[in-house]
Chain A
């Protein structure tokens, strides 16, 4: 509460640093928490990127010994856990926090203090995870950071195989950030259902809001099982229980089910907001209204439902019954249908539009192609016999990085370039942005296009080195070279953020001539968001405002 009163009285920017930091730590404002989430994600993006770089340098050629096998295990575990839980999730929640209340004309999230609590629980999770580097040894002098892989299959996580506290930090970290995620999801759903401005019926919400609504529902249904499984693992490790203890009749496969009941919907948790970014950016830069809005909404809901019933395609190689295999093959293939509908809708939006290739649009167009490829390799992996051949190979690694980097991260970069002017009132530099795009684009394709090939040639994931002469050497070299381009791209991005924050050209309220409510208020938005509660009549309220002679509500 105090932060609001301070900000309202507009104290000069020169107040002491301690006071300003205190405002950020105690804030309950959705915009500030959104920025905190995103900064948190960016810090961990750098950390996770360093871990990936270490792995790629180790694999640059056969028989390298940059790191030991033990350190390599820690690197892939920390890289996976960090990127999913402390980069992708906070990025998604940060944008949702910042944008959803603005887009529906609300003052704040429904539960501002729950919002702050959720952020700090997630932050605590990140601290738990990285404290393991120092505290993982425990009294046993064994272990450091977690090294059980990001899905931590039993019985690797049992006391016998995970001495010390590394696995405890891993499970506490995920439990803590899980509580934060569920809190934020409750907040997002309640905000969307209960705080829309007059006239904004469900059918008139911006698509980003719709996608975040379904995302939050998925978080509630998917992260809760993960938290339950983490509680069981904690009980196993601390109280000597036997949930996943195969020696006492427990089952390792049960952990796999529980983890992937979370793990697969999680992909949709991350990709739906990315679809949201694309669905806001592509229409604005094509100068056309979104094609097939109702179908987009229905496809989103369909993805939500089907996404809850595909998890065991991660377990084809474990050995399930023919019936289970068939079910999960079919459900996994079925999800390609609503996803395909979305791709056609974005293409139809661009078709015949006056396309402007600004940096946000460049990232979104790249996303369209890359996400298509990611979806196609996904369909190949949905075929159980093909998966038996390629499961746990670099083909799988290439596939899901195509989704997460090529799909989610690319649209997130687009979102940065698109909404940065709203958040800081300054444009991100276009030259640096174009350099960022091309370097990252080239690096992405060098790394992840060529990563499919050693996978097809039989290279398993998570090996710390390999023999020469298996035909993997050149491909691995190319993959690692791509990392250098990606790192350079990220460097330009970071420079761009800092430089534009300090010296960027002033953007005005509505630099892209956009149509959703957030562009109607000043940049950066005032603490109270809207001085007068807006009233909307169509899906593009600012179009109606700018074109009173031809408003959208005549056609919707």
Chain B
């Protein structure tokens, strides 16, 4: 009774379903997008509602260079994946490490900006509503970049211990979906914080 053989209908032999890694990652991205939406809505709602200074236009400078670095890392991770699907492992590793480097530069940029805001401008998360929403939104994004970097670093550890092979390309593609998502979120955050909010 454990089998249910009900005659093979035509076409059941090429029964194909979507990859579970991709579907799972899309779901995670949807959940994360919802979380970011709430933080972005809060940011926009509170623009100009701070009772005390400093105001965004006094202290914020758009981090163009670091933004270019982060967006470029989407390109480099894409190239890295093309290389691993072709089986060119060393080329893959170079592009992958470049991705990590670019992500690291971006995080450094955030750290530098925060350092200046806190110690030169005296803006902390509890100073005013601008500080509250700014550090929360940018910090939430930086947290996601950090998580992504940890995942990318884990992959490079597997590479250097020679455990990474060509057939893992599919899994790395799932990871790259997350990395692209983090980049897209930055475009939104950048627009909201440095363009609309100033």
Contact = CB atoms under 8 A, between A and B. Distances in A.
Interface of A: 105, 110-111, 182, 185-187, 189-190, 193-196, 198-199, 220-221, 223-225, 227-229, 231-232, 235-236, 239-243, 248-251, 254, 258, 261, 509, 517, 520-522, 526, 530-532, 534-537, 541-542, 544-545, 551, 553
Contact of A521 (B2, B23, B128): B2
Contact of B31 (A186, A249, A250, A261): A186
A521 B133 CA distance: 55
A374 to B, nearest CB: 28
A228 B39 contact: yes
A194 B17 CA distance: 5
Interface string B36-50: 011100100110011
Contacts of B9: 199, 535, 537, 553
B39 A189 contact: no
A2 to B, nearest CB: 23
B15 A199 contact: yes
Main secondary structure of the interface of A (DSSP, over half): helix
B3 interface: yes
A542 to B, nearest CB: 7
B195 interface: no
Given A194-B23, A195-B20, A249-B50, A221 B4 contact: no
Contacts of B64: none
Contacts of A185: 27, 31
Nearest to A109: B20
Given A199-B9, A251-B45, A224 B20 contact: no
Contacts of A526: 2
Contact of B126 (A110, A239, A517, A531): A239
Contacts of A553: 9
B12 A520 contact: no
Contacts of B50: 249
Given A242-B132, A542-B4, A225 B126 contact: no
Contact of B24 (A111, A535, A541, A542): A111
Given A249-B51, A258-B42, A535-B7, 6 more contacts: A198-B13, A224-B32, A235-B125, A250-B46, A535-B9, A544-B6
Contacts of A536: 4, 6
Interface residues of B, number: 44
B27 A189 contact: yes
B1 interface: yes
Nearest to B7: A537
Contact of A250 (B18, B27, B129): B129
Contacts of B18: 193-194
22 contacts: A182-B31, A186-B24, A186-B31, A189-B23, A196-B17, A198-B12, A199-B15, A224-B31, A225-B37, A228-B38, A236-B132, A242-B126, A242-B129, A243-B132, A243-B133, A250-B46, A250-B132, A251-B46, A520-B3, A535-B12, A544-B6, A545-B6
Contacts of B5: 532, 534-535
Contacts of B118: none
B136 interface: yes
A221 B20 contact: no
A401 to B, nearest CB: 29
Nearest to B140: A231
B146 to A, nearest CB: 16
Nearest to A220: B31
Interface in B125-166: 125-126, 128-129, 131-133, 135-136, 140
Of A193, A522, A542, the most chain B CB neighbours within 10 A belong to A193
A221 B34 CA distance: 6
Contacts of B15: 198-199
Contacts of A220: 27, 30-31, 34
B8 interface: yes
B187 interface: no
A232 to B, nearest CB: 7
B83 to A, nearest CB: 27
B136 A241 contact: yes
Nearest to B136: A235
B75 interface: no
A544 B8 CA distance: 13
B34 A241 contact: no
Contacts of B35: 224-225, 227-228, 231
Contacts of A231: 35, 136, 140
Given A110-B24, A228-B34, A248-B51, A254 B17 contact: no
